[in-house]
């Protein structure tokens, strides 16, 4: 019986050693798989951090560009802000100028000018460009008055 018990114990030890070897291989495989997955996860995390940093940088650039565009738009809007009434008046002035040009051209081409052009309201308005690049119109009489005032001012300054 002792022999049998010894044989059984030996058999159990061999089975236990085989099972232990299988478990070690399984553990080594799982440990290797875990290490690979951990390494891959770390690599992905690094790439994610780099991508986030790149996106934040791009976002800051875009925000800067957006602010610049907003500022440019405000400046453009302030500089060229034109109401419908302003547009209507400009269109009216353009139409009047086109009519005057047509009359001048017709008179010049017909050869009937007898030395003096008889065109109504020719040069009746002068355009003044303000500091904000807006155009302002004045009549010829106002222009002559301003011209006279400038000459008087220049004469007074020369005397001083």
pTM of the model: 0.40
Of 5-14, 45-54, 122-131, the least confident: 122-131
107/159 same-domain check? no
**92 and 68 in a common domain:** no
Position 24 scores a pLDDT of 95
Same domain, 39 and 58: yes
Whether the pLDDT of residue 140 is over 80: the answer is no
Which residue range forms the structural domain that includes residue 19? 1-81
18 with 69, same domain? yes
Same domain, 70 and 49: yes
Average pLDDT of span 131-145: 73
Rounded distance, CA 88 to CA 83, Å? Answer: 9
One domain for residues 2 and 15? yes
12 and 76 part of one domain: yes
pLDDT at 109 over 80: no
pLDDT of residue 151: 86
Tally of domains within the chain: 3
32/41 Cα distance (integer angstroms): 14
Residue 19 parent element (H or E): helix 2-80
Q: Are residues 10 and 49 in the same domain?
A: yes
């Amino acid at each position: 019986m002792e022999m049998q018990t010894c044989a059984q114990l030996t058999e159990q030890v061999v089975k236990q050693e085989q099972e232990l070897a299988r478990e070690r291989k399984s553990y080594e495989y799982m440990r290797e798989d875990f290490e690979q997955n951990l390494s891959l996860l770390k690599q992905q995390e690094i790439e994610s951090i780099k991508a986030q940093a790149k996106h934040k940088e791009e976002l800051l650039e875009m925000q800067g560009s957006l602010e610049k565009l907003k500022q440019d738009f405000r400046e453009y809007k302030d500089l060229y802000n034109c109401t419908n009434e302003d547009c209507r008046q400009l269109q009216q002035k353009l139409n009047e100028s086109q009519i005057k040009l047509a009359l001048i051209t017709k008179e010049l081409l017909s050869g009937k000018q007898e030395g003096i052009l008889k065109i109504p309201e020719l040069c009746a308005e002068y355009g003044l460009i303000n500091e904000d690049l807006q155009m302002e119109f004045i009549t010829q009489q106002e222009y002559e008055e301003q011209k006279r005032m400038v000459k008087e001012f220049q004469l007074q300054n020369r005397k001083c």
